[in-house]
C-alpha cells in the first residue's frame, strides 16, 4: 500500500450497520460487479472489480488469545485459512497469548512494522483499547473481533457473535418443545458468570423462555472447560432430581457435561449446547444422545475479519451492499443446529 496512509478512523460511519448472518458477510466479499463509469472516466464509487480479484498485496497482522479452547483454536485456524485464499494477502500471525502485556507488545510490533491492517481478537477488550487507538492513529485500520474495545475510535470495523441472540435461540428452541407444559423444569449450565458474554447469554435465554411462560429452575456456572463442565453438571444433577430441558452455554465444557450426565444415568431430558462444535454435532447426528441441538457462535469471525481487513486496506467495499464502504459493525447470527440441518454446518465446525 502507499506509504502515505489515509486515516480510516476519521471516516467512521455515523450509522451503525449490522448484517445478520455469517453467510451474508461471506457472500458480500465476493463477485462484485464492475462499477459504471462516470462521464469523466472515473469510478462512480465502491470497488471497481470483483472483490476476489487479486489487487495490491497487503500485509495483515493477526493476534488472538491462546488456543486453549476448541473454539479459540478454530478462530486462528479459520483466520489462516481465509488468508490462504488470497494471493494478495500476507498474514503475520502472533503467537496466541492470554497475557495482556504480551498482546499489547504484539500489536506495537505490527505498528512498527507498518502492516496494512490488523485483525485483533483481544484477550481483554478494554485493556487493548489504547494500543488499538495507537494503530488507528498511525493510519493502520484495526478490525476488532468478538470482544469489543471500549472506544468507538479504536477499530475501523467490529465483527461480533451474538451472545444475547444465542440465549434467545436456545430459549426459543426449548419453548418450541415445552411451551405447552407450563410446569416443565428448565436447567442452565452457564459459563463464567463474571463475563458480560455469559450475562448476555443468560439474559437472552431468560427473556425467550418468559415468552412461553417458562423460566430457569436450576442454574449453575462453569468455566468453559471440560473439567468444570463435568463438575458443574454433577452438582446440578444432584440438586435437580427432575429436568425436562437443559441448556449448556458452551460445547467445550459440554464434553464434561455429557460425561456427568452419563455417569449419573440421567436421560429424562433433552439438552441444547452452545458454540457449535463438531463433536456436539456428531452427538446430534447419532440420535442416541440427550444432546439434540446446539446454538452456533461462529468461530469464523476472525476469518471474516481477515476478509474485511483486505477490503479495507485495498479501499474496497462489500459487493452486495450499495454503500461504498465496509460496515462499521457486523453482528453474526446464532442459528440452532438440529438433526434436521446438521449436515449444513458440520463440515465447517471446530473440534472441541
Shared-domain flag, residues 66 and 77: yes
Query: What CATH code is carried by the domain that includes residue 284?
Result: 3.40.50.2300
Per-residue pLDDT band for 26 (boundaries 50, 70, 90) equals very low
Mean pLDDT of the region 267-276: 97
User: What range defines the domain where residue 59 resides?
Assistant: 21-33+45-161+299-332
When divided into structural domains, the chain yields a total of 2
132-141 pLDDT tens trace: 999 999 999 9
Mean pLDDT score, 270-286: 97
CB 145 within 8 A of CB 204: no
pTM of the model: 0.82
Whether residue 324 lies inside any domain: the answer is yes
The pLDDT score that the predictor gives to residue 174 is 98
Q: Are residues 29 and 143 in the same domain?
A: yes
- Residue 68's Cβ-side half-sphere holds a number of Cα atoms within 13 Å equal to 10
In a domain, 116, yes or no: yes
121 & 223 share domain:
no
Over residues 178-190, mean pLDDT: 96
Q: Is 207 exposed, middle or buried (0-12, 13-18, 19+ CB in 10 A)?
A: middle
90-107 tens-digit pLDDT: 999 999 999 999 999 999
**Is the residue at 256 inside a domain?**
yes
Q: With bands split at pLDDT 50, 70 and 90, how would you rate the model's confidence at 177?
A: very high
Residue 86 lies in a domain: yes
**Nine cell digits for residue 121:** 481478537
Residue 18 has pLDDT above 50, yes or no: no
Both 243 and 319 in a single domain?
no
5, part of any domain: no
Distance CA 225, CA 286 (A): 23
Amino acid at each position: 500500500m502507499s506509504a502515505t496512509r489515509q486515516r480510516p478512523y476519521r471516516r467512521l460511519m455515523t450509522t451503525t450497520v449490522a448484517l445478520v448472518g455469517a453467510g451474508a458477510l461471506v457472500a458480500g466479499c465476493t463477485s462484485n460487479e464492475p462499477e459504471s463509469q462516470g462521464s469523466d472516466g472515473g469510478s462512480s464509487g465502491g470497488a471497481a472489480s470483483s472483490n476476489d480479484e487479486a489487487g495490491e498485496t497487503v500485509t495483515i497482522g493477526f493476534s488472538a488469545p491462546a488456543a486453549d479452547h476448541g473454539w479459540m483454536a478454530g478462530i486462528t485456524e479459520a483466520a489462516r485459512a481465509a488468508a490462504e485464499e488470497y494471493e494478495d494477502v500476507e498474514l503475520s500471525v502472533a503467537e496466541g497469548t492470554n497475557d495482556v502485556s504480551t498482546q499489547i507488545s504484539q500489536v506495537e510490533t505490527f505498528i512498527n512494522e507498518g502492516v496494512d491492517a490488523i485483525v485483533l481478537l483481544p484477550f481483554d477488550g478494554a485493556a487493548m483499547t489504547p494500543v488499538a487507538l495507537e494503530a488507528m492513529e498511525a493510519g493502520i485500520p484495526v478490525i476488532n473481533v468478538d470482544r469489543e474495545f471500549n472506544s468507538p475510535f479504536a477499530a475501523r470495523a467490529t465483527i461480533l457473535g451474538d451472545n444475547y441472540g444465542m440465549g434467545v435461540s436456545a430459549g426459543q428452541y426449548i419453548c418450541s418443545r415445552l411451551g405447552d407444559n407450563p410446569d416443565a423444569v428448565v436447567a442452565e449450565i452457564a459459563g463464567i458468570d463474571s463475563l458480560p458474554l455469559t450475562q448476555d447469554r443468560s439474559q437472552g435465554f431468560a427473556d425467550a423462555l418468559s415468552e412461553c411462560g417458562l423460566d430457569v429452575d436450576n442454574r449453575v456456572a462453569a468455566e468453559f472447560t471440560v473439567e468444570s463442565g463435568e463438575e458443574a453438571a454433577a452438582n446440578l444433577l444432584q440438586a435437580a432430581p427432575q429436568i425436562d430441558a437443559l441448556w449448556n452455554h458452551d460445547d467445550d465444557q459440554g464434553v464434561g457435561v455429557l460425561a456427568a450426565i452419563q455417569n449419573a444415568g440421567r436421560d429424562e431430558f433433552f439438552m441444547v449446547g452452545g458454540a457449535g462444535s463438531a463433536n456436539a454435532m456428531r452427538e446430534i447426528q447419532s440420535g442416541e444422545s440427550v444432546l439434540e441441538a446446539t446454538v452456533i457462535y461462529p468461530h469464523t469471525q476472525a476469518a471474516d475479519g481477515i476478509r474485511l481487513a483486505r477490503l479495507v486496506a485495498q479501499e474496497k467495499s462489500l459487493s452486495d451492499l450499495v454503500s461504498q464502504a465496509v460496515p462499521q459493525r457486523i453482528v453474526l447470527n446464532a442459528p440452532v443446529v438440529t438433526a434436521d440441518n446438521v449436515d449444513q454446518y458440520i463440515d465447517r465446525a471446530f473440534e472441541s
